[in-house]
Chains A and B, each alone.
Chain A
Amino acid sequence: MNKSTVYLVDDDPGVLKALSRLLRTEGWSVSAFASAQAFLDALPQDALGCVVLDLAMPGMDGRALHNELVARGSVLAVIFLTGHGDLATGIAAMKTGAVDFLSKPVNDAQLLAAVRTAVERSRAAHADAAEVQELQQRLAKLTPREREVMQLVVAGLLNKQIADALGTVEKTVKVHRARVMEKMKARSLAELVRLADRAGRER
């Protein structure tokens, strides 16, 4: 089951039709666009999948579109197609995070492999993003005091030390700590450390 979509952007209708046909034979759901602008206009907020982009297009070209996607924080993975395999452009594209850089005419095996990789990467990125979001929601539920306690727990301090640091008694710290574990849905101290680390890094 492929829930992700492959977006195709190419100004040549013949190429667009042929590539969508090829991708559909593999069971991908394909959305084809004749220009970068049309694609951006139709793009849903939480789009998942990959974009196969023609590098040279009138109006907004492939590179500009890619930059725009990165700026919007999209999780779509990008594969570039180019008429003439220009190495410098390829390297630049890979540096900005493109999954692959293929030259036309493109072989089916190559293209399909690239699309698979790209979709997987997009999904992973999406899952990642979802997890981070979830964690941040959990973090939001903590009271300021609980957050202080969590930071100190994660830093490896003992309850007693925490109590000293916060100017309170150990018993109160224990209560806070239990609430933190519950709100963060952490089953062990190790898990709490991992979750806090992840949420903190993404914040």
Chain B
Amino acid sequence: MNSIVAFGNTFITLTLSVLSLALLLVYLPPQGRQLLRITTRFWPAALVLIAVSGLMFAAAPYLWAPLLTVANMSNVGACLVLALIAAAWNGRASRRMYASLGIAFAVAVAVFEFWRQGGAATFETRVYFVCLARAVLTAWMIAELRQFNRQEQSNQIRMLMAFGVLYIAANLARATATALTGDGTAPNLYSEGAVPFATRIFILAMQLFIALSFNNYFVEKLWRQERHARLRHQLLFEGSPAAGIIWNDRLQVTGWNDEATRLFGWTQAEALGRRASELLFLPDDQASAERRLRALFEAPTAKGIVVEVHSKDGRTIACEWSHRPMPGDTGRPHEVVSMALDVTDRLSRQRQLEAEHGAAIDRMSQLADQVGQSEHSLQQLREHLEIAARSVGMGLYLRDFTQEHLWVSDRYREMHGFSADEPLTPDVTQARIHPEDLEGYLAAREVAIKTGENSAEFRIVLPDGRVRWIAAHGRIKTDASGAPILTRAVTIDITDHKIAALELARQQREVAHLSRVVVLGELSGALAHELNQPLTAILSNAQAAQRFLSADPVDLVELRDILDDIVSEDQRAGEVIKRLRQLLSTGETQRVSLDLNELLSDTVRLLRSDLLSQQVALHTDLAPGLPLVWADRVQLQQVLINLVMNACEAMRELPAAERRLVLRTSAQAGGGVQLSVVDCGCGLPREQPERVFESFYTTKPGGMGLGLSVCRTIVQAHGGRLWAEGHEGPGASFHVSLVAHTASAS
């Protein structure tokens, strides 16, 4: 049996030595440096414990035998610290955990010491205790390491785990051998003379090194995690208007912001480390809550889910939740960030409104049913009904199909602009509806006949031409064949609300539009100014060259110099143009699907005063029902303005009575849309009508010759075509063709 004990001891020793060397080789480059660095509060504890145990192991045989016991204690303590570090890395260690383990360890030591002092503890029991304690703690460490390795997938961790398994095996072997022999004094590493003193010191140093490497590895991880966590808190939590919670795959809360405290009532200290399901859901709902939270881990980002949760004091809070997984170091999510907005008020208001509306309809339906049943109190009931409806500003509409009878309340008449005694028929009331909204109204009614109930919003036109917005909710009773018997509807005037909303939207559009027009205008202004410099240089150089040529003899060197300068200045001008083109074609454009006719009418409105002052008669010839085009409103407007202004310029020489401008839109055979600007002015250069599109070609005295070239760039960027056409008589036509915007194109 001695041989087994000796084997156990030697096994521990060899394991330690071999693994020390292996770890030394694996870790030395980065970890060797880390050895010298004090990084966090964790490693001094392990260092002290292991150093103390090492020293005592080494000294005990020479000094005082009981020291060995203390050494064993520190050794077990070191195992505990390491296991705790592993746990901390996995985000599981909490203050509670440290405290309970510390207390458990202290109690164990106290019990053991008491036992030993009482003489009950033999050397063998001490061996059992120490070996088993080591084995249990190491097993715990391995469990944590496994967890760690699931995310980390590192060979170092695997090696440490293997070492842990061997260490457990060795300790169990030692304990078993001791039990079998009943003698713990079998020769081992620490027996005097078993191995030379220097070897023992070396092995102890190795043991120290392993512990430190192992420790530093985790320390580094911890440190990184801590920094990461700080950053996370700063970014997401501090000052966030939404309540924020971070929780891990075990549903434990690892982050909790101030707003979460305000909303849910739990302080940060209370919340951290507890299960999210526990904090936010009632005890009865735990199972389903946990299931749903776990499902979030599998599903990616989820947004805008309304879930009711409970605060600390039991209030029910409806929250709109957004969840986002936080990828760990390996990319797999290891935590989920949940942000919640309190929508309780919003939701309850909405429900209240729905309920009110529903109640009003119900009450009215009941009353209306009574109308049918008790003929004699009809007038009375109607009055009753009307008072109820009027109090909430609603108009009432009742139509009995069987008796071809229509009754509306006074408020309804007021709303629709009927006088109190005007006889009404369904056709008369329907005639009030705005022609553009009639189709939608009839469709909504069809739905109501099928489903029995429906709502619609539409405009009505009053006799004096004013337009009001009406929201109506109706119920239609049908007979067995599906033909309507009775229609009951309430109407509310929502004009003010609607106008405000439309006005707001219009203003927003207008502001966006204007700012872009301004930007584009300033841009072209700035570029035109920039073009002036190279153009000035080119002109002056060219004219200087002309003068040189008339001199005798001609200075060819100077002439060559001049030509070089002209070329380079021309290139500079080209750069400016190129930049302009880039800005227009790839720059910030906002394509929307738009109606060319509408754009044209808008633009004409913009140009009206110019046309008037230039005494140009404008004729528009717009084809109805054109397909929409996908284009940037501002840019297309620029093209149109440019073409119209050009046409006006071209007609400047004509007598005012002959200045006619025609704007025409038409659908093209291929599904495209064409826009034509036709003038009767000076026309195009006869030989090369295409020249007008070249940069710097101009017939106007103050012109830069850029307008049409820029227009063509814009149109081409829209996938369209811009071309010019001379007339038989005076004038010219400019045509823009654009492809229609189909659903698939978007």
Name A residues whose Cβ lies closer than 8 Å to a Cβ of B.
Answer: 12, 14-15, 17-19, 21-22, 24-26, 81, 83-84, 104-108, 111
A–B complex contacts, Cβ < 8 Å, 19 sampled: A12-B536, A14-B534, A14-B568, A15-B540, A18-B537, A18-B540, A21-B540, A22-B543, A24-B544, A25-B548, A25-B551, A26-B547, A83-B529, A83-B532, A104-B532, A105-B538, A106-B539, A107-B543, A108-B540
Q: How many interface residues does chain B have, given as a range? A: 20 to 34
Interface contact B565-A84, CB-CB below 8 Å: no
- B569 interface residue (CB < 8 Å to A): yes
Cβ of A52 to closest chain B Cβ, rounded Å: 11
- B541 interface residue (CB < 8 Å to A): yes
Give bound CA distance, A161 to B572, whole Å: 79
Interface contact B544-A21, CB-CB below 8 Å: yes
- B39 interface residue (CB < 8 Å to A): no
> Chain A residues near B543 (CB, 8 Å)?
22, 107-108
Q: A16: nearest residue on chain B (CB-CB)?
A: B537
- B67 interface residue (CB < 8 Å to A): no
> Chain A residues near B568 (CB, 8 Å)?
14
> Chain B residues near A21 (CB, 8 Å)?
540-541, 544, 558, 562
- B533 interface residue (CB < 8 Å to A): yes
Q: How many A-B residue pairs have CB under 8 A?
A: 72
Give 1 or 0 for each of B655-698: 1 = CB within 8 Å of chain A CB. Answer: 00000000000000000000000000000000000000000000
Known contacts A18-B541, A25-B544, A108-B543; A12/B533 CB under 8 A = yes
Contact of B539 among A12, A24, A25, A107 (CB under 8 A): A107
Cβ of A8 to closest chain B Cβ, rounded Å: 11
Chain B, 538-576, CB within 8 A of any chain A CB? 538-541, 543-544, 546-548, 551, 558, 562, 565, 568-569, 572
Q: B555: nearest residue on chain A (CB-CB)?
A: A25
Known contacts A21-B562, A25-B544; A14/B533 CB under 8 A = yes
| A15, A84, A106: most-surrounded residue (chain B CB, <10 A) | A15
Contact of B536 among A18, A24, A25 (CB under 8 A): A18
Interface contact A15-B565, CB-CB below 8 Å: no
> Chain B residues near A84 (CB, 8 Å)?
528-529, 532
Interface contact A22-B547, CB-CB below 8 Å: yes
- B535 interface residue (CB < 8 Å to A): yes
Cβ of A80 to closest chain B Cβ, rounded Å: 14
Give bound CA distance, A111 to B544, whole Å: 12
Give bound CA distance, A108 to B542, whole Å: 10
Given contacts A14-B534, A105-B532, 14 further A-B contacts (CB under 8 A): A12-B533, A14-B537, A14-B568, A15-B537, A15-B540, A17-B565, A18-B541, A18-B544, A21-B558, A22-B547, A83-B532, A104-B535, A104-B536, A106-B540
Contact of B537 among A17, A81, A107, A111 (CB under 8 A): A17
Name B residues whose Cβ lies closer than 8 Å to a Cβ of A.
Answer: 528-529, 532-541, 543-544, 546-548, 551, 558, 562, 565, 568-569, 572
Give bound CA distance, A83 to B532, whole Å: 6
Give bound CA distance, A30 to B547, whole Å: 17
> Chain B residues near A104 (CB, 8 Å)?
532-533, 535-536
> Chain A residues near B528 (CB, 8 Å)?
84
Interface contact A18-B532, CB-CB below 8 Å: no
Cβ of B379 to closest chain A Cβ, rounded Å: 79
Give bound CA distance, A17 to B538, whole Å: 11
Majority secondary structure, B binding face: helix
Give bound CA distance, A83 to B572, whole Å: 16
> Chain A residues near B572 (CB, 8 Å)?
14
Give bound CA distance, A104 to B569, whole Å: 15
Cβ of B339 to closest chain A Cβ, rounded Å: 50
Q: A84: nearest residue on chain B (CB-CB)?
A: B529
> Chain A residues near B547 (CB, 8 Å)?
22, 25-26, 108
> Chain A residues near B533 (CB, 8 Å)?
12, 14-15, 83, 104
> Chain B residues near A107 (CB, 8 Å)?
539, 543
| B543, B546, B558: most-surrounded residue (chain A CB, <10 A) | B543
Majority secondary structure, A binding face: helix
Cβ of A48 to closest chain B Cβ, rounded Å: 24
Give bound CA distance, A83 to B544, whole Å: 20
Interface contact B539-A105, CB-CB below 8 Å: yes
Give bound CA distance, A18 to B529, whole Å: 18
> Chain B residues near A111 (CB, 8 Å)?
540
Interface contact B565-A18, CB-CB below 8 Å: yes
Q: A14: nearest residue on chain B (CB-CB)?
A: B537
Interface contact B569-A105, CB-CB below 8 Å: no
Cβ of B560 to closest chain A Cβ, rounded Å: 13
> Chain A residues near B540 (CB, 8 Å)?
15, 18-19, 21-22, 105-106, 108, 111
Give bound CA distance, A25 to B562, whole Å: 12
Give bound CA distance, A21 to B540, whole Å: 8
Cβ of B2 to closest chain A Cβ, rounded Å: 98
Give bound CA distance, A13 to B528, whole Å: 18
Cβ of A24 to closest chain B Cβ, rounded Å: 8
Cβ of B568 to closest chain A Cβ, rounded Å: 8
6 shortest interchain CB distances as A-B pairs: A18-B540, A108-B543, A25-B547, A14-B537, A104-B536, A22-B544
| A17, A84, A107: most-surrounded residue (chain B CB, <10 A) | A17
> Chain A residues near B541 (CB, 8 Å)?
18, 21-22
Cβ of A32 to closest chain B Cβ, rounded Å: 12
Cβ of B559 to closest chain A Cβ, rounded Å: 11
> Chain B residues near A106 (CB, 8 Å)?
536, 539-540
Give bound CA distance, A146 to B594, whole Å: 93
Contact of A105 among B529, B535, B544, B548 (CB under 8 A): B535
Give bound CA distance, A18 to B542, whole Å: 9
Give bound CA distance, A14 to B532, whole Å: 11
> Chain A residues near B562 (CB, 8 Å)?
21
> Chain A residues near B569 (CB, 8 Å)?
14, 18
Give bound CA distance, A142 to B535, whole Å: 60
> Chain A residues near B537 (CB, 8 Å)?
12, 14-15, 17-18
> Chain B residues near A17 (CB, 8 Å)?
537, 565
> Chain B residues near A26 (CB, 8 Å)?
547
Cβ of A6 to closest chain B Cβ, rounded Å: 13
Cβ of B553 to closest chain A Cβ, rounded Å: 14
Cβ of A90 to closest chain B Cβ, rounded Å: 15
Give bound CA distance, A111 to B541, whole Å: 13
| A18, A19, A21, A81: most-surrounded residue (chain B CB, <10 A) | A18
Give bound CA distance, A2 to B565, whole Å: 27
Cβ of B479 to closest chain A Cβ, rounded Å: 79
Give bound CA distance, A17 to B566, whole Å: 11
Give bound CA distance, A111 to B539, whole Å: 12
Give bound CA distance, A109 to B569, whole Å: 21
> Chain B residues near A105 (CB, 8 Å)?
532, 535-536, 538-540
Give bound CA distance, A26 to B529, whole Å: 28
Give bound CA distance, A111 to B538, whole Å: 15
